[in-house]
Structure 1
Amino acid sequence: MTYTVIRLPQYTKADLDEITGGLDDPFEVAALGVRSRDKDVHYGVRHEGRLVAHAGLVDATVSVGARRFPVAGLGGVVVAPDLRGQGLARLVVDAAVAHARGTGAEFGLLFCLPDRMPLYRRLGWRESTDGMRVEQPGEAVVDHPLHTMWLPLAEDAVWPAGRARLHSLPM
C-alpha cells in the first residue's frame, strides 16, 4: 500500500481523535503530569479520506552550560492503532525532519517513553543521557521524566555533554 505525507494547515483534537479512535491518553503520558506545548507545523497521512498519522514540530531553544542553540522539537507523533507497523511513523517523522533541516536548527529534539526509543533509533535519533530540564506552568523548571533524544540537523552537529535546559514547555 502506498501512503502520501501531506503538510496539514492545522491539527486539532478532532484530528487526533480521528487517528486514535478517541483514546483518552494516546501518548500514554498523562500520569506523568508534564504539560506540553502545541505544535506549529504539522505533517499527516490520509488513507481513504481518514487522517491516520501525524507528527508536529516547534521551534525552541536549548542551553547546555553557557551554550544556547536552536532546536526543532518533534512531538505529537501518532499512528492509527489499526495501521501500525506499516512505516507511517517513519513517513511523518521524515517529512517533519526534512522541514526542520531548513529552519536553521542545529538539532531535532524529542521526548519519548522507553518502548518508543527503538523506533527513533532506527530513524537516526540518539539518546542524551544527561537529562533535560523543561519549563512548566507557573514558572516551574522540572526534570523531564521521559527520555530525551536528538538528531543532528546540521552537518557534524554533536549534542553537547551536560545537563540541558529547554527554554519552553516540552513538545
Structure 2
Amino acid sequence: MGDTPEFTAAAELADWGWPDVLALGGGAADPFETSSYGVTWRPKDRHFGVWHEGRVVAHAGLAAGTVEVGGQRFDVAGVGGVIVETSLRGHGLARLAVTGVLDAARADGLDRALLFCLPSRAPLYTRLGFLPLPEPVTADQPAGPAPVPLGAMWKPLTPGADWPAGSVRLHSLPM
C-alpha cells in the first residue's frame, strides 16, 4: 500500500459535512485535536476527497482569504480540514488531498497557500513544501482580532511568489 495506486487523486466533493469528518476521524469527538485552543474556525468553501473502494478516505478543504503582511494585502488559499481515515494514515493520502486543494487554488489564480497546524503536524506540511511563519497570525474571532495559538505555515503556489516580512493579519476566521 505504500505507493497508493488503489487511491484516486483528489477530486472536488459536491457534499461534505461534519458527519463525514467524524467518520474519517474514527468517531473522535475532536478529530482535529484543536478544541482546547478555543479558536473559531471558518468553514471551508470547497472540499476535496481521495476515494478508495467507493468511499472518501481523505479530505482537505479550501477557503480563500485575504491577509495583510508588511503593508501588502493579498489573497491566499486557506488549507484546512485535512483528515485521513484513521486506519489508512501513513500512506500519502494527506498529500493527495492537499495536492487537490493546491491545484484548485492555482487554477483560481492564487499565488500562496496558508494553513494552521499543531506542532506535531508541521513535519508533514514541511514535506509538502510549506514553510513556517515566524510569528503567530492574527485572525478574526467572535470577540475581535486575536493571535491564532497554532503554528502557521505558507507555501508558494506560483514561481516567484514570496512571503513579505512582517506581522500577518488574516481578515477572516482562520481556515
Taking structure 2 as the reference length, the TM-score comes to 0.93
Structure 1 counterpart of 2:51: 46
Structure 2 counterpart of 1:156: 160
Structure 1 counterpart of 2:96: 91
Structure 1 counterpart of 2:130: 125
The answer on whether the counterparts of 2:67 and 2:73 sit within 8 Å (CA) in structure 1 is yes
SS of the aligned residue for 1:55 comes to strand
Structure 1 vs Structure 2 CA RMSD: 1.1
Taking structure 1 as the reference length, the TM-score comes to 0.95
The answer on whether the counterparts of 1:130 and 1:161 sit within 8 Å (CA) in structure 2 is no
Q: Give the Å deviation of 1:37.
A: 0.7
2:25 maps to 1:6: no
2:76 maps to 1:78: no
Deviations 1:89-130 (A, max 9, x none): 000001110111122222100000111111111111101102
Cα distance in structure 2, aligned partners of 1:149 and 1:120: 8
Cα distance in structure 1, aligned partners of 2:72 and 2:130: 21
The AA in structure 2 aligned to 1:16 is V
The AA in structure 2 aligned to 1:168 is S
Higher strand share goes to which structure?
1
Structure 2 counterpart of 1:112: 117
- Give the share of equivalent positions with the same residue, in percent: 50
Cα distance in structure 1, aligned partners of 2:15 and 2:174: 19
Q: Give the Å deviation of 1:68.
A: 0.4
Any stretches of 5+ residues in structure 1 without a counterpart? Answer: none
Cα distance in structure 2, aligned partners of 1:15 and 1:25: 13
Cα distance in structure 1, aligned partners of 2:15 and 2:64: 16
The answer on whether the counterparts of 1:18 and 1:52 sit within 8 Å (CA) in structure 2 is no
Cα distance in structure 1, aligned partners of 2:71 and 2:165: 12
The answer on whether the counterparts of 2:70 and 2:164 sit within 8 Å (CA) in structure 1 is no
The AA in structure 2 aligned to 1:67 is Q
